[in-house]
Structure 1
Amino acid sequence: MERLFSNSSGRIAVSLKAVDVGDDLLVAITGGKAHIGAVAVGIKSEGVATSSVITVPAHREDRVVKGAAEKLAKKLNKTVVIVAGIHYDNITKEEIDETLRLCDELISALAGELCKKD
């Protein structure tokens, strides 16, 4: 099943697409000029969620994918892959902070929907 969420503030708009892959979950988070900036795999083992992250050089999306993968893996008790690519020209520090907040809201909305399903 595919799930779509979006959120925006000012000129910043972020979208999330989640797809079931068997019992696991694949999530793409994009905004502005979409691309692949970082990927994280989150797993839950013995009650603790951990993640592995790969970041494309000169990209900062690891700030989005690491926490999101761990949060979803822990809440859903499944393997989660998150890929993110968000680019806005001349983005300010305040807009970066707002982007991170928007992404967190999208992850929380997805977790809430999936937890209701279970």
Structure 2
Amino acid sequence: MVKCEITRVGEDDLILVTGGTKPHIGAIVLCTWDGIQAHVVSHGLPHHKEEKLYIELAQLWCTTFKKNVVLTGGIHIDNATKEDIEMLVNKTWESFFLLMANNKVSIIK
């Protein structure tokens, strides 16, 4: 199971993405909106593989909603196979798109 949770920090967003058997912090991404484009600064912890995925998620959020976002978290399953990792990535995108849809609805209201 993968969870994406949002916390509003003023006008900015903080998104926590966790899942698997050992949720943790494996990467942190800051994506800022300058009025024209998104800018990314990121850091992945050693031996963690979430950073690339989290950069994609943060850029999509930032460019869609035209706002700053910090995205962090970690997803882990012991002895994960390639298939396990693909499933977790797919579940992450599903959970993230649901969060985006819910956020879009709250903006429209």
Taking structure 1 as the reference length, what is the TM-score of the superposition? 0.83
Contact conserved, 1:40 with 1:83, CA < 8 A, in 2?
yes
Residues 70-90 of structure 1: CA deviation (Å, up to 9, x unaligned): 011111111000112111001
More strand by share: 1
Residue matched to 2:37: 48
Residue matched to 2:28: 39
Q: Runs of 4+ in structure 1 displaced over 3 angstroms?
A: none
Aligned pair in 2 of structure 1 residues 53, 89: CA closer, same or farther (>3 Å)? same
Cα distance between partner residues in 1 of 2:39 and 2:93: 17
Length, aligned pairs only: 106
Residues 46-71 of structure 1: CA deviation (Å, up to 9, x unaligned): 43223211000111011321011101
Aligned pair in 2 of structure 1 residues 20, 86: CA closer, same or farther (>3 Å)? same
Of structures 1 and 2, the one scoring higher in RCO (CA 8 A, sep 6+) is 2
Residue matched to 1:10: none
Q: Provide structure 2 residue ranges, at least 5 long, that are not aligned to the other structure.
A: none
Taking structure 2 as the reference length, what is the TM-score of the superposition? 0.90
More helix by share: 2
